[in-house]
Copies of this chain bind each other. A is one copy, B any other.
Amino acid sequence: MLPTLHDPIFRSLSDPTRRALFERLCLEGEQTVAALTEQAGISQPAVSKHLRILKEAGLVSGRQAGRQTRYTARAEALAPLVDWTRAMSGFWDAKLDGLEDLLKRMDQ
């Protein structure tokens, strides 16, 4: 019903193309739009639109490097998702607090 804090995260990750972009940035590190486009199987504007949405959700950040933009994944942004999942699973074991903490520490 009412969109919450983690709503844009769920929303942006619900699209397979966007998830693939995010996954690639997570696994292979910083990438230019051109590099991402090459493998995405869609046009550059489409990729740029997806990156914009991911960026607004806080899942990626882009830094200007000359005439190209290098995008990076921000895995810490997944923290609300971890929170929510833990809340829903009704599981509060201290052993698991580590992940959330780590994600927050990654924020530096």
A-side interface residues toward B, CB under 8 Å?
1-4, 7, 10-11, 13-14, 16-17, 19-20, 22-23, 26, 40-41, 73, 75, 78, 81-82, 85-91, 93, 95-96, 98-99, 102-103, 106
Q: Give me 11 A-to-B residue pairs in the complex whose CB atoms sit less than 8 angstroms apart, sorted by A's number.
A: A1-B17, A10-B14, A10-B19, A26-B87, A26-B88, A26-B89, A73-B88, A81-B85, A89-B106, A91-B103, A93-B98
Q: What CA separation (Å) do A26 and B23 show in the bound complex?
A: 28
Chain B contacts for A19, CB-based, 8 A: 7, 10
Q: Count this chain's copies in the assembly.
A: 2
Point out the residues of chain B lying under 8 angstroms from A90, CB to CB.
Answer: 26, 75
Is the Cβ of B16 less than 8 Å from the Cβ of A7?
Answer: yes
